[in-house]
Amino acid sequence: MARGLRGFGPAGVVAILVILTSLLLGGNPFIPVAAILVLIWACQSRTPWRDLGFCRPRSWTASLVIGLAFGISFKFVMKAIVMPLLGADPVNQKFHYLEGNRAALPSAIWMMIVVAGFGEEVVFRGYFFERLGKLLGATASAKIVTVLLTAVLFGLAHYSNQRVAGVEQATLVGLVFGAIFAQTGRIWMLIFAHAAFDLTALTMIFFGVESDIAHLIFT
């Protein structure tokens, strides 16, 4: 059974389809479900945790600090430089309701940390990299293809609630995070960075400074 789940026969294909279905049809609330299914699949298929990137960091403190610093700075670069160059709306209309909305903060923070930080990294970096790595191999060209494919999938997953600008931003984030994961094979720093990236976005929205930051360089 373990060999079947880890392979690409009927059992393996069904496992992939179940995870993809929960991810693509369920929307954001079901991303943690997809991540949990990935962890269940790893246990049942006896896939080593390190194959999903769950390697013990050399230093938890360093991984946390680097992840937070990278995620925060990366969000500022995306908001102030990259997205304005792509012609994106300086205000994220989908989440504009969060501006000054204290009542919505707990659920929003949950979404940024659990759904995005943990769930999306486990699925899009950990699981998809493991599956595509087994399918395509571990050569440099195979890793490039994996980074590109997962970035496109990550971008498309954001179309339903953030449209074209969301796809553009998520695809670029997927490329950067994917390249880091392909190089390091470690997921914890990326989980911290992803959560920090989205929490920084939430902070910008909550305090109503999105537009100011978006026009910081390009007025």
What is the per-residue pLDDT for 162?
83
Q: Could you tell me if residue 114 is inside a domain?
A: yes
**C-beta neighbour count of 61 within 10 angstroms:** 8
- At residue 211, what are phi and psi to the nearest 5 degrees? -65, -40
Each residue of 105-122: pLDDT tens digit?
A: 999 999 999 999 999 999
The C-alpha atoms of residue 136 and residue 157 are separated, in whole angstroms, by 23
pLDDT value at 147 more than 90: yes
Q: Do the Cβ atoms of 169 and 78 come closer than 8 Å?
A: yes
The C-alpha atoms of residue 61 and residue 100 are separated, in whole angstroms, by 32
Q: Could you tell me if residue 88 is inside a domain?
A: yes
Total domains in the fold of the chain: 1
Each residue of 200-216: pLDDT tens digit?
A: 999 999 999 999 999 99
pLDDT confidence bin for 27, thresholds 50/70/90: low
Q: Could you tell me if residue 154 is inside a domain?
A: yes
Note down the domain range covering 185.
51-214
The C-alpha atoms of residue 146 and residue 149 are separated, in whole angstroms, by 5
